[in-house]
Structure 1
Amino acid sequence: MATIPANATAIQKLGRFFGMSPELLQRVGALVLLCGMVENQIEHAIWAVTSEDPSGKRPSTDKQQISDRLKTLGEKAACHPNTLVQKIGPLVASIGKDITEYRNAIAHGWIMGPTIGGPSFVSNHAWFGELRKREVVSVVTTETLLDMAIECAETLWMTITRLTAYLAGADAVQPGILESMLDPLERCRPKAVEVRHCVALMNSEKS
């Protein structure tokens, strides 16, 4: 068992016991912040895509979790008359699903230290044989994977913000803004898959 001074800070303990270095913790903080920004902004994007006016009433998105909002945006955007919106919405939904699941596993899962292959996180695990609503999610936290996740989350936030402004008819939106969103999203798609499914990919390579 690792020993650590009694007056050690929480950050020092996370590093000693669980392998979460200051560099990893900094990246986790950035990812959590960006995902929160995505979660809030995506509601406005749904309103814009569906032309919903939430003024004076409870909006359709009020009780939705982030997974539901991503699914709704993807489905509604796919039916939008603008062909670029049709492409962008499902990409945002797909990337967002992987990145938010990665974030959720870190924020709400069990942390595994270096002695058992960590730092990594597992959420929704049935430790006592109980039944769980959601599938088990296992993720790895390295600087490289977190950098990729942060890039994806930032791209999502920028895309959703610009998409919302475009559909709302904001004067500041520049021509060609929708076209400029596609390349960054398409570059992020395989990165999001790798981040979310890294454990499964590593296990398949071993078998």
Structure 2
Amino acid sequence: MNDQRMAAKQALEKLEDGYGLSAGIQQRIGALFVYCGMLEFNSEKAIWAIKGENPVGVPPSTDRGRAGNLMSELGRLADAESGNLAIAIKLVSEGAKPLLEYRNAIAHGLLVRFNLDHPSFVNNGTWHGEKRRKAPSLAHVDADRLNTSIEVADTLSTAAQNLFYACSGPSARTAGALDQWVIPLQNARDLAARLRI
């Protein structure tokens, strides 16, 4: 094994031994990040399609937008739509907000171990008495919670991709195009809301 691989292996073992992040938990965190990236990409394309925006050769209106801003914009676009299309747009937006907050706490937070059951990440902590613009957030990481977050991210990402298809091309805004997504999206939104409990 070369030195670089050995160093990476030692770093991964350090996360497991020192912080309780098993290989399975590390893998789930990676999967969550991949699905959240797909959610952001698919949501941006959905926004373009809903707005009728063609960004070929020009920066899109969504350029340099943060994920939270994208989801807020997506949610606002539901007001101009009707039926299950409006419902699906709103549910993707509502489910994505707590999911991305959970992901952000992991991605940007400090890894801590409050108890022996599972590690957590604290984002925007005030460790040195500093004042933060955002309130601190906490993300507990265990197999069940991460499995839930992956399931939610997969559902929302796939639904956002279907929003793009439902709002673009010759069959755009066909009645009933998103009917089968309403119940899975309601479930995903409800599961996402419980990630931070």
When normalised by structure 1's length, the TM-score is 0.85
Q: Given that residues 31 and 150 in structure 1 are in contact (C-alpha distance below 8 angstroms), is that contact kept between their aligned partners in structure 2?
A: yes
Partner of residue 101, structure 2: 101
How far, CA to CA, are the matches of 1:23 and 1:84 in structure 2?
Answer: 37
Deviation, structure 1 residue 170: 6.2
Partner of residue 50, structure 2: 49
Alignment of 1:31-46 (within 5 A): 31-46=32-47
Q: Given that residues 118 and 142 in structure 2 are in contact (C-alpha distance below 8 angstroms), is that contact kept between their aligned partners in structure 1?
A: no
How far, CA to CA, are the matches of 1:71 and 1:150 in structure 2?
Answer: 21
Q: Alignment length, in residue pairs? A: 190
Paired letter, 2:31? A
How far, CA to CA, are the matches of 1:54 and 1:169 in structure 2?
Answer: 15
SS in 2 for 1:9: helix
Deviation, structure 1 residue 182: 0.7
- Structure 1: 5+ residue stretches without partners: 1-5, 199-207
Partner of residue 9, structure 1: 10
- Structure 2: 5+ residue stretches without partners: 1-5
Deviation, structure 1 residue 48: 0.8
Moved more, 123-132 or 147-156: 123-132
Deviation, structure 1 residue 176: 4.2
How far, CA to CA, are the matches of 2:63 and 2:115 in structure 1?
Answer: 42
SS in 1 for 2:135: coil
How far, CA to CA, are the matches of 2:177 and 2:89 in structure 1?
Answer: 14
1:123-145 deviation line (CA, Å, top 9, x unaligned) = 01121121212221101001000
Alignment of 1:15-164 (within 5 A): 15-80=16-81, 82-113=82-113, 115=115, 118-164=118-164
How far, CA to CA, are the matches of 2:43 and 2:100 in structure 1?
Answer: 12
When normalised by structure 2's length, the TM-score is 0.89
How far, CA to CA, are the matches of 1:24 and 1:113 in structure 2?
Answer: 14
Identity of aligned residues (%): 34
Q: Given that residues 112 and 118 in structure 1 are in contact (C-alpha distance below 8 angstroms), is that contact kept between their aligned partners in structure 2?
A: no
SS in 1 for 2:50: helix
Deviation, structure 1 residue 55: 2.3
Paired letter, 1:100? L
